Structure 1
Amino acid sequence: MKLKYIIYPLLILLIGYLFYNKLWGARAKEANAQTAPGKKGKKPAIPVNVMIVKDTAFSNAIDVTGSIDANEQVELRSETAGNITGIYFKEGGHVEKGQLLVKVYDKDLQASLKQIQVQILLAQQTEYRNKVLYSKEAISKEEYDISLTSLNSYKAQADLAKAQIAKTEVRAPFSGTIGLRNISPGGYLSPQGSIATLVNIDPAKITFSIPERYQGLVHVNSKINFNVESSRDVFTATVYAIEPNIDVNSRSITLRAKAENKKGLLKAGGFAKIHFTLDNIPKTIMIPTEVVTPDIKGSNVFITQKGVAVQRAIKTDTRTDAKIQVVSGLKAGDSLIVTGIIQMRPKVAIKIIKVIK
């Protein structure tokens, strides 16, 4: 009996030992092998997509906003005060340069001019007689000079009267469309009072600004395309003037372009959405912006070489909504890693899942 009680416990202990050693011994050895000094566990390769870098054409363009201005615009006013005797334009109508628009009372000035003209006739006769007498030495030169001076004085008075009469007429300084009038026949007009606004909107002027970093890419005769809210047409304008100074607050350059407006679709004060093509680059490299990782030295990307990731420093330039231009650091044919960027480190093993060409 005593032998049985000794053998059974020993058998149970032996079976338990064998079972424990088989189940946990292999895991312990594997863990010890991974943590043992001088031995490193091999990390699994990171699955990535790569893009084959290639040269492509790039149109360097920006979208900005601007305002539409009249080619010429003036607030019409009278140079002299007086009662209005005539209005010779139609509100909203077209007027030609030099056309009479408004007439102010000038009867008194006309009477003064006639009086001076009569005096001129008398002075001319006196001057002529004295000239004949002086040629015959019948009078002195002093007497002749007095008659000549009197004639010239009357002529000057006549010129002054004519100038004053001209000020009673308001004429169009240029051809254009006249706005709503602020006067009525018989009303009193003063130099401070506005008559109407005269606008020439063909061609229309487009004023807009661009960031100063683009100043080397703009020049006179550059073309722009723009849209306005009131029309679905796409309009074209040509840059004709560039502000020489940079705005210190916005760090931008102001430009002005002219657009043909024969149909009158463009109105002064309107809002323009401008698409400005700055430069066309026939051969450059464009990559997705999300693959670029910045650091204190600049910008970097990762490419694949012999199954591992290699960090490459790049220099960038123009950025669009989705891509950025690379001017150095990459060449056509490089395999650019475009996914798994957060996990990327130099010399990390990678597994290519998809190649984007």
Structure 2
Amino acid sequence: MALKSIHTAVAAVVIAAASGAAWWYQQQPQGPKDPAAAGKAASAGAPVAGAATGPARAPTVEVARVELQRLTDDAAAVGSLRSRQSVILRPEVSGRVTRINFRDADRVRRGQLLVQLDDQLPVAQVNQAEAELSIARANHKRNQELVEEKFIAQRAVDESAANVQVAQAKLALAQATLARLKIVAPFDGIAGIRNISVGDYLKDGADIVNIEDLDAMYVDFRLPERFQTKVRPGQTALVDLDALPGRRFTALIQAVDPLLDANGRSVGVRGCIDNRALELRPGMFARVTPVFGVREGARVVPEEAIVPQGGRQFVYRLAPGPDSDSRIAQRVEVKVGLRQPGKVEVTEGLEAGDLVVTAGQQRIQKDGTVVRVLDLPRGAGGEAQAGGEAGGRRSVAGADVVASEPGNPCGALSLNAPRAPAAKPRAPQAPSPAPVPAAPRPEAKRASLAG
């Protein structure tokens, strides 16, 4: 037992000595194995292991500039198109078709006679009622003359007046029955495909033909309840249709349903599209982007620049450093606004043209750290700004101008232009934001600082 205890103690001492030697060896500076390589490194000014080391090299980061862009506050939804007015004509009384005064897909006018049912019996009833009314009026006139001469009592005059009223009611009933045998167009529109022929006997309520008013199209869609405070009549919505790829239409929001759907927690919205060119049809599937507002000259940064901490948002802004190759990182709290793919709006904390760190934030140990910036392509900031501005304009093409126009079925001007680039609609918009031409000046200044 004593020998075993001695062996254990010796093993513990050996392990402790080996651990101490390893620690001491790791703390010693390691020199180059090749003396010639060490000499070359020393002559070039590079730090040599084993020699006195200088200050640590500044970390390298990637940066981007705060750009001015035109942002749109919008949402995405799906909906369906429907006619502004739509009806299926049905007879109110039974009868046999004697005449059809329209062809399939014809444009019809309000009050135009479309279908005539057999009216021989109602016409005879109207003639009979007219004759009875004529007799009742003659008797009433004769009784009025006799009562003045005291030949009859006043009661006979009252009874003849009542007979006149009864005859007038019978005539009105016969005329109403006759009118119901004429099927007329209730509004201007385009007739569909008829389901009847001359000689068919129609029962009351049978389908005859549908009439569609296509000069204006309604687009009905639903939005989540969180948007019910943003959407309001008079705003615009961009409409894309799978049936017409490459085309974008503008709808004018006309109504917002005051009742929210309790099942889906959504609010119904209806927009109107000018369709006097008859390009749209009811029932089309639509992808709707309602535009709640447009912000000119919004300051945006890449999403990678935002560093969330404890419910707050920070960015690392770069200030001029001790030399032309370095910058000083400053952590700045910002407030963010709208978000778009890859971009975030900054409402407070930054100015246009500021440099912010987009990659390498983890290398910045503390506020005021000196960093090196990777070289950016010359003019990258300005080009990105201009491109973002143009992209913003394309995203709201057709939503910029909403003015009254006589004869427009939606009550406002809708720029239903193709989504493809078109110089004419966007020409007046090019000089609108004042900050855009001024943006390259801070860019050039900061580019000169970056060397």
TM-score normalised to structure 1 length: 0.79
From 264, 267, 270, the counterpart of 2:281:
267
Change (3 A) 1:261 1:333: closer
Change (3 A) 1:173 1:231: farther
Verify: 1:47 aligned to 2:47, yes or no.
Answer: no
What's the RMSD between the two structures over aligned residues?
3.0
The structure with the largest alpha-carbon Rg is 1
Matched-pair contact (CA < 8 Å) for 2:329–2:371: no
User: How much has 1:96 moved relative to structure 2?
Assistant: 1.0
Q: Give SS of 2:346's match.
A: strand
Q: 273-282 or 312-321: which moved more? A: 273-282
User: How much has 1:63 moved relative to structure 2?
Assistant: 4.7
Verify: 1:121 aligned to 2:121, yes or no.
Answer: no
User: How much has 1:226 moved relative to structure 2?
Assistant: 3.0
Q: Mapping of 1:53-132 within 5 angstroms?
A: 53=66, 55-132=68-145
Query: Which residue of structure 2 aligns with residue 158 of structure 1?
Result: 171
Higher strand share: 1
1:1-28 deviation line (CA, Å, top 9, x unaligned): xxxxxxxxxxxxxxxxxxxxxxx98864
Matched-pair contact (CA < 8 Å) for 2:67–2:301: no
Change (3 A) 1:299 1:208: same
1:49-101 deviation line (CA, Å, top 9, x unaligned): 22343554434344543322101001111101122222222111111111112
Q: Distance in 2 between matches of 1:265 and 1:327?
A: 42
Q: State the one-letter code of the partner of 1:96.
A: R
Query: Which residue of structure 2 aligns with residue 191 of structure 1?
Result: 204
Query: Which residue of structure 2 aligns with residue 14 of structure 1?
Result: none
Q: Mapping of 1:164-313 within 5 angstroms?
A: 164-228=177-241, 229-230=243-244, 232-304=246-318, 309-313=329-333
Q: Distance in 1 between matches of 2:222 and 2:364?
A: 41
Q: Distance in 1 between matches of 2:267 and 2:182?
A: 42
Q: Give SS of 1:152's match.
A: helix
Matched-pair contact (CA < 8 Å) for 2:64–2:302: no
Q: State the one-letter code of the partner of 2:340.
A: T
Q: State the one-letter code of the partner of 1:161.
A: A
Matched-pair contact (CA < 8 Å) for 1:45–1:348: no
Query: Which residue of structure 1 aligns with residue 348 of structure 2?
Result: 328
Q: Give SS of 2:167's match.
A: helix
Q: 5+ residue gaps in structure 1?
A: 1-23, 32-40
Matched-pair contact (CA < 8 Å) for 1:100–1:170: yes
Q: State the one-letter code of the partner of 1:104.
A: L
Query: Which residue of structure 1 aligns with residue 423 of structure 2?
Result: none
Q: 141-150 or 86-95: which moved more? A: 86-95
User: How much has 1:102 moved relative to structure 2?
Assistant: 1.6
Q: 5+ residue gaps in structure 2?
A: 1-22, 31-53, 322-326, 382-451
Change (3 A) 1:285 1:231: closer
User: How much has 1:275 moved relative to structure 2?
Assistant: 4.4
Q: State the one-letter code of the partner of 2:268.
A: T
Q: 63-72 or 126-135: which moved more? A: 63-72
Q: Give SS of 1:180's match.
A: coil
TM-score normalised to structure 2 length: 0.64
Matched-pair contact (CA < 8 Å) for 2:108–2:188: yes
Q: Distance in 2 between matches of 1:176 and 1:72?
A: 8
User: How much has 1:250 moved relative to structure 2?
Assistant: 4.5
Q: State the one-letter code of the partner of 1:226.
A: V
Q: 306-315 or 60-69: which moved more? A: 306-315
1:253-294 deviation line (CA, Å, top 9, x unaligned): 433222222221111111234444432222332111122233
Q: Distance in 1 between matches of 2:233 and 2:251?
A: 11
Change (3 A) 1:319 1:116: same
Matched-pair contact (CA < 8 Å) for 1:231–1:265: no
Q: Distance in 2 between matches of 1:182 and 1:94?
A: 17
Change (3 A) 1:345 1:303: farther
Structure 1 stretches of 4+ moved >6 Å: none
Q: 285-294 or 261-270: which moved more? A: 285-294
Change (3 A) 1:317 1:250: farther
User: How much has 1:150 moved relative to structure 2?
Assistant: 0.8
Structure with the bigger RCO (C-alpha within 8 Å, sep 6+) is 1
Change (3 A) 1:251 1:289: farther
User: How much has 1:183 moved relative to structure 2?
Assistant: 1.6
